[in-house]
Structure 1
């Protein structure tokens, strides 16, 4: 009788382990699907915010922006001259902080 009880408890334990493994796998897959969807939403929002960002005196360069596009948008043709920390105008990257002094009213999109 003890042997039958041991076999039954091993079978139940094996089944419980399989169920736990399947639930854990499902949670991992669900989490990765949600993470992928949120990343694509962020990139879409970032693209829309590019045109709506204000031209403050202190400006943080966004992804896809160049000094030329910032200059056109903010009306400051002298960005390089006013920012001595920019050694190469072609080496502009997201997160770079620059000073903007608009010489004309900002273009509205």
Structure 2
């Protein structure tokens, strides 16, 4: 009967090793993607062209940081769909009109 607990331990060990290998492979694959790969999503697009007329808010951004980055101090006035300037979330689409060229 001692072989049953040993077999259970061996299968848990194998499952843990397999899971670790899968996670390692996926992390390595994500890190090997080139920086100009469009598959990374809209966040990469926003970083490469931050002040297009149509701007998609990214993770961790506020209207203040976007205003500073894009030189548009009148974001709230030009976007009537923003009712609360503190309620800005990733994916929100806003219009940007830079005040300087």
Query: TM-score scaled to structure 2, two decimals?
Result: 0.60
CA separation in 2, counterparts of 1:14 and 1:89? 60
Higher Rg of the two aligned structures: 1
Aligned ranges 1:39-50 → 2 under 5 Å: none
RMSD across aligned C-alpha pairs, in angstroms? 3.4
Tell me if 1:97 matches 2:93: yes
Q: Structure 2: any 5+ residue segments left out of the alignment?
A: 32-43
Match of 2:76 among 75, 80, 91: 80
Count of residue pairs the alignment pairs up: 84
User: Deviation digits for residues 5-44 of structure 1, max 9, x if unmatched?
Assistant: xxxxxx6x9876654432112222x158649x68xx7xxx
- Decide which structure has greater helix share: 1
Match of 1:62 among 58, 63, 76: 58
Report the 3-state secondary structure (helix = DSSP H, G, I; strand = E; otherwise coil) of the residue aligned with 1:25.
helix
User: Deviation digits for residues 47-97 of structure 1, max 9, x if unmatched?
Assistant: xx6865521111111122111111121111211111111001111112111
Q: Structure 1: any 5+ residue segments left out of the alignment?
A: 1-10, 42-48
